[in-house]
Amino acid sequence: LGDLSSSEDESELGSLGGGGEDEESKQDQDLDKELGLVDDGRRAARRKEKLALCKACQGQCMWQAVYDLVEVQERMIELRSELEMVRNIDPETKFVESSVAQSVLNGGSTRLARSDLLDELSAELTRLERKERLVLVDEELHRAYASNEAFMETKALHGYKQV
């Protein structure tokens, strides 16, 4: 066994430590890229938040909304507006032009019977309201399972706040 001086030990450790830090830094950058984080000063906090353990998921939080809530709500606003316009049209009018109805968006005729258009818009609005409620209830349920609190306030399930 050869004798190594302290300066040789330090130089070996320095080169090993430096390489390890570079490797660790590259892994951090890869992980940040995978998580979609950019370096804007708050990266570390958001990274910690993204990697935090979720009691409901028993690991990294994997919850995602079943439907895009923003898209659903935007479509609901569009449908309500069109529905109000059709309701305000003279009831004696038999046919109405619409570009909002789902059948029109799927390639159908833009000219529809007033009663059929009312039925179609109402039915789609009801479906979207159910999708919105599903997302909100699912999110509350996830937060309830992930919570460490003894009690939790919910609203989406019954439509009013309750503990």
Among candidates 9, 82, 36, 52, which has minimal Cα distance to 146? Answer: 52
Q: What's the first-to-final CA gap in the chain, in angstroms?
A: 72
pLDDT for 38-84, tens place per residue? 555 566 665 555 556 777 777 777 778 888 889 999 999 999 999 99
Do the beta carbons of residue 121 and residue 100 sit within 8 Å? Answer: yes
Q: Residue 95: beta bridge partners?
A: 113
How high is the pLDDT of residue 162? Answer: 77
Nearest-angstrom CA–CA distance, 77 and 71 = 10
